[in-house]
Amino acid sequence: MMLIASLAFGFMNVTVKMISGMHVSEIVFFRAIVQIIIASVILFKQNESPLGKNPKMLFMRGLFGSLGLLCYFYSLQLMPLSNALVIHYISPILTTILAMLMGDERVQPIQWFFFLICFVGVIVVNSEISLNQIQLLQGVTPFGILMGLGGAFFSAFAYNTIRRLKGIENPNVVVLYFPLVTIPISLIFPLGGWGTWHWPKMGDYWWQIASNEWIWLILTGVFTQVGQFFMTRAYQEAETKLVSAISYAGIIWGTAFGLFLFDESYNGFQYMGMVLVILGMVLNVQINKQTSK
């Protein structure tokens, strides 16, 4: 299920990049509207109450998720897709560490070494390495990295909250609370004068998809809904450390989209960094298989 979720989030990343001219909070707002409509229809058909059984925990999931999303979308607009994505994928490592600190799961000592491999891979992807120095790649900014790390940090808390709701809440209720909390948070930016919103553009003709911001906003909401649903199911039905490791497949989608859709190019060190991140993921999965027997 996490593989499906990571692919859906990969498509979501593309749609966000296509409307990079809009303020992040506005993208998040319209995305939330689409999610609420979809989730409400599903819950109505299931005859399920949207209120949930643990509103406090659901609110925390929505709060952490909203903050993580705002930070992540900012990083997508500030940096190349692959760089923003790899930084964001520190979140599975943080998710597993938080689960261990909260006493929900145990981490094998060797897994810390595998986490280190992933972290080194993240550094290599975002650095220009020469014999004399290591510096940030062109297009990678300190503020962009900060936003990416913030997104990873808040997402880790959100994922562990989802894990705590296992067996308590319908996955669609969990998904619904995310946009419900997101909307008032996103409105803080224009009301506080911290961002200028504009009415989404339609384009001169309906078939001009690239310039039609409405299409990309709707697709952002749809892909997010699909990704959130399958991610929620995955975190509720499997161990956090296993789901977190599998989620690294998103780096593959991000790299492919960056190459073929946004004409991004990568040097040898960046590919090596991606390999390190994926290697750490695969090794973690193998350890999880062995310890679960």
Question: pLDDT tens, 118-128?
Answer: 888 877 876 66
- Interval 231-277: pLDDT, tens: 878 877 776 666 766 776 777 777 788 888 877 777 787 788 888 87
Tokens read off for 34: 């689409």
Beta-ladder partners of 34: none
CA atoms within 13 A on the CB side of 200: 21
- Whose tokens are 């992933």? That residue is 118
Across the chain, which has 293 residues, the per-10-residue mean pLDDT values are 83 86 90 90 87 88 93 87 79 80 76 85 70 58 87 90 83 88 94 85 62 85 87 74 69 80 78 82 72 59
Which three-class secondary structure state does DSSP give residue 128?
strand
Rounded to whole angstroms, what are the CA distances from 99 to 106, 155, 197, 276? 8, 13, 38, 23
pTM strictly above 0.85: no
What count of other Cβ atoms lies within 10 Å of the Cβ of residue 113?
11
Residue spans per domain, the chain = 2-292
What count of other Cβ atoms lies within 10 Å of the Cβ of residue 120?
14
